[in-house]
């Protein structure tokens, strides 16, 4: 049987819905051969979306319990989605990674600090993004975007990060119709290119997330031209849905697989539980 996986999934342990066992059961029913559980890792500031630090050990135990429950039927991989901000390197290493996880998805959901001194969310609302551009970048969206891709590039050597999550989501979510910038603009292409080259150099995996389609955007994360550029530069990719409910587990998978085929990704990254590491495997045909 061909393999098919999703390494980016949420449950009620963070800002998603459903038990981890329900997420895994949905994966099995959808024909997945592996599923990575990747709750939002704890953060040292008030945040309703993340696992509370004092739940982290219980979360880990629960994933391992469900792994045993489903042994021989579907591989359950123990992960986290890490807020991979430069300021959180030490916190992430000491408080989260020290417990032991198979992998993490490193994501950039924040940029700069708000007036309360807390990380400024890129994805909370249209108005919050507009305020960020206005108040921290004096209306210069190019400066924001270039800084965003610098943060993405830094994930090339961020501790514990195997997969780089939704690399263009932070700057694309509120840019429908090219409202802030065109993706064809040379400076945008150059910013993405610098990040991809940095990630290629250390073998980081970039996810193709169907979450963009779920949010009603015309494209997944990242845009198809970036998926193609990953292929050109030898950046390994994997296919995820960033699901927040068991019903979203394989949302738009056939469309994403078609895009990977169109862009000549003959192989994508797969976690090998026996080796505890990532390797390339043929692109699933399902």
Residue placing its CB nearer to Zn ion in the complex, 22 or 142: 22
- Residue 186: phi and psi, rounded to 5, are -55, -40
Residue placing its CB nearer to Zn ion in the complex, 48 or 186: 48
Cα Rg for the chain, rounded, in angstroms?
Answer: 18
Q: Nearest approach, Cβ of 168 to Zn ion (angstroms)?
A: 12
Q: Nearest approach, Cβ of 8 to Zn ion (angstroms)?
A: 5
Residue placing its CB nearer to Zn ion in the complex, 124 or 279: 124
Direct distance between the N- and C-terminal alpha carbons of the chain, in angstroms, rounded to an integer: 10
CA 223 to mean position of chain CA atoms: 14
Tell which positions 224-243 bind Zn ion, by CB under 5 A: 242
Task: Rule CB under 5 A: say whether 207 interacts with Zn ion.
Answer: no
Tell which one of 75, 81, 102, 207 touches Zn ion (CB under 5 A): 81
CA angle in degrees (0–180, nearest 5) for 105-111-116: 120
Q: Nearest approach, Cβ of 81 to Zn ion (angstroms)?
A: 5
The secondary structure of the chain in percent helix, strand, coil, rounded to multiples of 5, reads 40, 20, 35
Q: Nearest approach, Cβ of 121 to Zn ion (angstroms)?
A: 11
Kindly give the pairing relationship between strand 277-282 and strand 267-272: antiparallel
| Number of residues located near Zn ion, criterion CB under 5 A | 3
Tokens of 76: 């359950």
Site string for Zn ion, 92-131 (x = CB under 5 A): ---------------x------------------------
With contact defined as beta carbons under 8 Å apart, do 274 and 37 qualify? no
Tell which positions 2-41 bind Zn ion, by CB under 5 A: none
Binding site for Zn ion (CB under 5 A): 81, 107, 242
């Amino acid at each position: 049987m061909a393999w098919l996986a999703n390494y980016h999934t949420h449950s009620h342990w963070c800002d998603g819905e459903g038990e981890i066992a329900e997420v895994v059961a949905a994966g099995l029913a959808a024909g997945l051969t592996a599923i990575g559980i990747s709750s939002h890792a704890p953060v040292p500031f008030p945040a309703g979306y993340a696992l509370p630090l004092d739940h982290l050990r219980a979360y880990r135990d629960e994933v391992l319990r469900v792994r045993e429950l489903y042994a021989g039927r579907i591989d359950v991989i123990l992960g986290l989605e890490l807020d991979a901000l430069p300021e959180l390197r030490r916190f992430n290493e000491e408080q989260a990674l020290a417990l032991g996880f198979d992998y993490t998805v490193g994501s950039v959901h924040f940029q700069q600090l708000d007036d309360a001194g807390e990380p400024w969310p890129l994805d909370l609302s249209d108005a919050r993004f507009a305020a960020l551009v206005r108040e921290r970048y004096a209306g210069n969206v190019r400066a924001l975007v270039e800084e965003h891709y610098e943060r993405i590039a830094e994930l090339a050597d961020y501790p514990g990060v195997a997969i780089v999550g939704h690399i263009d989501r932070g700057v694309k979510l509120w840019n429908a119709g090219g409202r802030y910038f065109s993706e064809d603009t040379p400076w945008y292409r150059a910013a993405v290119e610098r990040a991809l080259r940095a990630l290629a150099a250390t073998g980081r995996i970039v996810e193709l997330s169907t979450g963009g389609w779920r949010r009603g955007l015309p494209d997944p994360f990242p845009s198809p031209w970036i998926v193609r550029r990953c292929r050109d530069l030898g950046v390994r990719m994997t296919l995820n849905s960033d699901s927040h409910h068991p019903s979203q587990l394989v949302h738009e998978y056939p469309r994403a697989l078609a895009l990977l085929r169109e862009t000549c990704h003959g192989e994508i990254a797969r976690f090998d539980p026996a080796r505890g590491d990532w390797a390339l495997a043929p692109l699933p045909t399902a």
